[in-house]
Amino acid sequence: MSEKKYFKGKVFIVTGASSGIGKAVAVEAAKKGADVVIAARNIERLNEVENVIKGFGVDALAVQTDVSKKEDAENLINKTIEKFGKIDVLVNNAGVSMRAMFDDLQIDVFEKVMNINFMGAVYCTRYAIPHILKQKGSIVGVSSVSGFTPLPARTAYCASKYAMFGFLTTLRLENIMRGLHVMITHPGFTESNIRKHALLADGSEQGKTPRHEDKMMTAEEVAIKIIKGIRKRKRVQIMTLMGKTSWILEKIWPKLTHKLLYKGIAKEPNTPLPKWKFRK
């Protein structure tokens, strides 16, 4: 069965869909014939994405949502059921990054990252899962290479992605006899606004990316892989050679992996990492 036949008539929910990977996944799902509910805090940008989606001849619904709020997550699911009567796929994509040493980081910034990246996925999944189970559908967590390897100056971000991995893999196991598909996808560095909006130690936004965005995967490339992964009902999806290498090295040679990660991040402009030699 082709992807268009497989996805035709299915109902997607995509969080963090006003830009970046979320927007690209929503558009790619629409191209395959799915109806799409898009969620984010910025309703103006969501409405623009909604119009793009409808241009593919499918239906769409934009729901202003702050996934870190339980009532917003519940409203998102309720609005979807009111309009479409079912949910086939939930893509937990909403997220925020950060960049600071942990001992400089305000604790409320750590909490904000966890609440959006992790608890947002928990809330949306909890309210959606009864409906997804009826369809034997899919729950997707958009994680990161930082979901299985540490990344210095990103403690809260890594913690949120590690937590997502534990949550979703356990959810998969709990529902192994109920036909639920759970996929955790780990893109590599992707061209998006996430680094521009990354939170610094005091909670202000970084404003400028420290990396070369033009050398990264595009959001559209990531979205195509995510849609293919949902179609094939993959469990774990690691998208780049760097990611796959990190996955292996973290298991068999973590000391070397951590040294390389530290050195790489220490080369970023305005890095918060101390400039001392890597210690054994």
Q: Which residues are catalytic?
A: 157
Termini Cα distance of the chain: 53
Pair of tokens at residue 105: 């980081």
Residues sharing a CB contact under 8 Å with residue 82, sequence separation 6 or more, in sequence order: none
Nearest to 227 by CA among 3, 2, 1: 3
